[in-house]
Amino acid sequence: MKKAGFFALAAITALVLSGCTDSDAPADGGADDGDSGSSAELTPVTVGVIPIADTAAIYLGDDQGFFEDEGLDLTIETATGGAAIVPAVVSGDYQFGFSNTLSLMVAADQGLDIKMVSSAVATTGDTSKDMGAVITKADSGISSPADLAGKTVSSNSVGNINDTVVRTVVDEAGGDSSTIEFVEVPFPDAIAAVENDQVDAAFVVEPFITSALDAGLEVVSYAYAEFDPKLDIAAYFALGDVDPDLLEKFQTAMTKSLEYADANPDAVREIMATYTKTDPAVLAEITLPKYPTEMDRASIEKLAAAAQEYGVLKAEPDFDNLLP
């Protein structure tokens, strides 16, 4: 049964770093207007997501009936990032959630019993046009990653996947990433922050890259792709003791959903129009991510090593327990 609700989480304890992306998507109600008779035969399952391109697959899977096919009555709840979604999963409000891979490693590092159960989204691997990038003004004097040294760079959160990959590409380009001041600015506000000189540059994801380019800003680095061409940016996760039968059904539905999203980019753009405020003209231009059905362990291990180097992680994760 198709369900989509928007849920504002308040007074959430800061258990982990925030998730990959922010959104200003509008609420569209939480009540189910469908056939209540059929739902009695389905198992209710609630998944917390961020309403952006990264999560289009689960919306498509809901729309295509893949979750119903597995006997699941899906409710999609939204939040601004993993800092809200992780506690909701831990508390049992959600059975599954979406968050960037590094935030999930940080959560496990802090002793939370969670595990990644499905891939979600990955970089395209194209260093000339990807779905995550550092943007700046055309006259900023910043033309390469090394030029970000000593500058102020925003992201939707500090101490997670975005500033970790930015620091890596800056250091690899010969700059000193330790001199960068990272500040938190929600993605929807990042373009204005750059234009108004509140920050020198900003890390954003689609659709904000396309909007930034349309506004005359420039891309300094497609940092995800430059970090690793197969980088898994985010994943779906659950508690370590999630019901095995429920897990199997969710994983099967997600695999179908990811395969469908990756094979049908027009459907991704169409479904995004139903749960975001993105202008249709911008949706037609955005660079979509990859929707892999399997996670690339090597890229996850590389990300974890970088996070340890920069002090985001205390120790190497137990990958055998954390990954699907």
Question: What does the domain layout of the chain look like in residue ranges?
Answer: 36-123+230-322, 132-227
Q: Which two three-digit tokens encode residue 281?
A: 């003209």
Contact 256, 294 (CB under 8 A): no
Amino acid 18: pLDDT:
38
Amino acid 83: pLDDT:
75
For the chain of 324 residues, list the mean pLDDT of each consecutive stretch of 10.
37 37 38 44 95 94 98 93 87 96 94 96 97 97 97 90 97 98 92 98 93 96 98 97 97 98 96 89 94 97 97 95 94
Model pLDDT for residues 249-268, shown as the tens digit of each residue = 999 999 999 999 999 999 99
Give me the sign of the Cα torsion angle 126, 299, 154, 157.
Answer: positive
What CATH number should be reported for the domain whose range is 132-227?
3.40.190.10
Query: What is the fold, at CATH topology level, of the domain defined by 36-123+230-322?
Result: D-Maltodextrin-Binding Protein; domain 2 (3.40.190)
Amino acid 15: pLDDT:
37
Model pLDDT for residues 71-88, shown as the tens digit of each residue = 999 999 998 777 789 999
Fold match between domain 36-123+230-322 and domain 132-227: yes
Task: List, in sequence order, every residue forming a beta bridge with 116; answer none if it has no partner.
Answer: 237
Amino acid 40: pLDDT:
59
Amino acid 276: pLDDT:
87
CA gap 73, 165 in Å, rounded? 37
